[in-house]
């Protein structure tokens, strides 16, 4: 993190995983030492601390946006639904992989 902080050619961090919010305290610790904007790649699992995760995303100024993975064929059990996602006040991008079985329905 310090090497990236000191490198002027690198303009941002992307925190990805595994699942970055699997350990919210560790994610907070990592982001706290970042001196550049940060984006989060997540499936946004529905954990018992989902409210804390959403509050942190909304309040941490370094977090500039959230990329949420929702791939075709993905088992959507245990991940945030649109009502939870809509509580995020930062820009959101949904990442998906489209395969030959893709249907607009």
Count of positions (residues) in the chain? 105
pLDDT digits (tens, 9 = 90+) for 14-26: 999 889 999 999 9
Percent of the chain residues past pLDDT 70, beyond the cut: 93
Higher per-residue pLDDT: 100 or 31: 31
Beta-carbon contacts of 80 under 8 Å, excluding residues fewer than 6 positions away, are 44, 45, 46, 50, 68
Computed over every residue of the chain, the mean pLDDT equals 91
């Amino acid at each position: 993190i310090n090497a990236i902080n000191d490198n002027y050619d690198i303009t941002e961090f992307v925190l990805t995983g595994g699942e970055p919010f699997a350990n919210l305290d560790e994610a907070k610790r990592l982001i706290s030492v970042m001196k550049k904007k940060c984006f989060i790649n997540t499936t946004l699992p529905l954990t018992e601390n989902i409210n804390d995760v959403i509050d942190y995303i909304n309040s941490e100024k370094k977090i500039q946006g959230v990329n949420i993975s929702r791939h075709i064929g993905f088992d959507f059990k245990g991940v945030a639904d649109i009502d939870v996602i809509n509580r995020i006040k930062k820009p959101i991008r949904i990442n998906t992989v489209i395969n030959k079985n893709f249907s607009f329905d």
